[in-house]
Structure 1
Amino acid sequence: MLAMNRTNILGLAFVAVVVATIFSSCHDKRSRGLEYAPNMYYPIAYNPDQKNPIFANGISAQVPPPGTTPVGFTRFDEFPNTPEGYAAASTGITSPLTVTKKNLLEGKQLYLAFCSPCHGEKGMGNGHIVELGKFPAPPSYSTGNSSRGGAMKDLTDGKIYHTIQYGLNLMGSYASQLSPEERWKVIMYVHQLQKPQ
């Protein structure tokens, strides 16, 4: 009798589970059922493009307070994009990195990726873009003269950094492509190209 009750109880439990499964699966066709980590689908935080009742203007993506510096960002405000800022950068900035084989190699790789299309692999101003004939050649690092005056071979760390930061003539800014440390490595390699070849 006990064995028969146990069988009946297990059978009823099985039928109850099957019925519950059928009813729960037919409840809402759009339902995904149980979700693992539902906060991945329904985030707690507001998306940047959502209206936000917390702020008076209703915008989630607020402009940062004036004078704030993002994490990992180096400010360059003390040297504005003016001839005076360029001259001040010439004497006011020097590379914080030491010249090592590793830094030079990384600088060369970055130079070849970002600079050589215009400046050429050896810095002679004969890059692939120039060879197309649609753009004028930039001056050679070892023998040319800068459009701002002076020989290219005499460009200082600060002048090159300022040019990478803001761009010059047809060269646009590379501030968004190269981190400050990468810029110093490129400058380190450019100093090698400034030497007579």
Structure 2
Amino acid sequence: MNKYKVLGIAVVTVVTAIVASSCKNKRSPGWEYAPNMYEKIAFDPDQANPNFKDGKTAQLPPAGTTPVGFTRFDYPKTMDGYNQASIEVKSILAPTAKNMEEGKALFMTFCSPCHGKTGEGDGIVTTHGFPPPPSYSKGQSSRGGAMKDLTDGKIYHTITYGLNAMGSYASQLNPEERWKVVLYVHHLQTL
């Protein structure tokens, strides 16, 4: 067979296929290769869902469950919770050089603007009219006792919930980072 004849037949076949496929209904989107990319099967969170008794898609987690990666701190934001944490809560981290260095870096970032670089309560915010927090090594806690005697639980509770003018740092520091700050604060208590 002549190569021009083969080429001619191929061109005619391709043109015929194009013309035949273009004569279909213009409103048809054509074949869908992966329809699940266009028509999802899952329910939206705000959508009604017949699979649950209450008809809601967004369900509350069962009572008493803990989300993955979340660490519970079951001490209330009260004076009783503060005192109970003082007795029961102990640091989960060893006072290694690495933990101490990371605690110092976190303290310098989050705590030193108020508490000062050495924990004396002479941070930069005190120059703007805010009352100075007590010194870790000399001051008295507003909840009684010397600041140098604060326990792991009291410091962790205060970082988690805040105290007086200090707000909570639970959203800025995860539990492990809070423990590193506790380690560094204990170091400042001895200065």
TM over 0.5: same fold? Answer: yes
- Which residue pairs with 1:127 in the alignment? 123
Paired residues for 1:91-170 under 5 Å = 91-133=87-129, 135-170=130-165
Aligned partner of residue 56 in structure 2, secondary structure = coil
CA-CA distance at 1:140 after TM superposition: 1.1
Distance in 2 separating the partners of 1:107 and 1:42: 50
Distance in 2 separating the partners of 1:114 and 1:40: 45
- Give structure 2 stretches of 5+ with no counterpart: none
Q: Which region of structure 1 is more displaced relative to structure 2, 153-162 or 111-120? A: 111-120
- Which residue pairs with 1:194 in the alignment? 189
Label 1:35 to 1:73 Cα distance change in 2 as closer, same or farther (>3 A).
farther
Instruction: Determine if the alignment matches structure 1 residue 65 to structure 2 residue 62.
Output: yes
- Give structure 1 stretches of 5+ with no counterpart: none
Instruction: Determine if the alignment matches structure 1 residue 54 to structure 2 residue 51.
Output: yes
Label 1:185 to 1:20 Cα distance change in 2 as closer, same or farther (>3 A).
farther
Instruction: Determine if the alignment matches structure 1 residue 80 to structure 2 residue 76.
Output: yes
Distance in 2 separating the partners of 1:129 and 1:34: 65
Q: Which region of structure 1 is more displaced relative to structure 2, 95-104 or 167-176? A: 167-176
TM-score, L = length of structure 2: 0.83
One-letter identity of the residue aligned with 2:185: V
RMSD value over aligned CA atoms?
2.8
Distance in 2 separating the partners of 1:107 and 1:177: 14
Paired residues for 1:172-183 under 5 Å = 172-183=167-178
Total equivalences in the alignment:
190
Label 1:39 to 1:102 Cα distance change in 2 as closer, same or farther (>3 A).
farther
Distance in 2 separating the partners of 1:177 and 1:35: 47
CA-CA distance at 1:192 after TM superposition: 1.1
- Which residue pairs with 2:14 in the alignment? 14
Tell me the alpha carbon deviations over residues 6-48 of structure 1, each in whole angstroms, 9 at most, x when there is no partner.
Answer: 2232102332455478679x757xxx99999775665543333
TM-score, L = length of structure 1: 0.81
Instruction: Determine if the alignment matches structure 1 residue 90 to structure 2 residue 86.
Output: yes
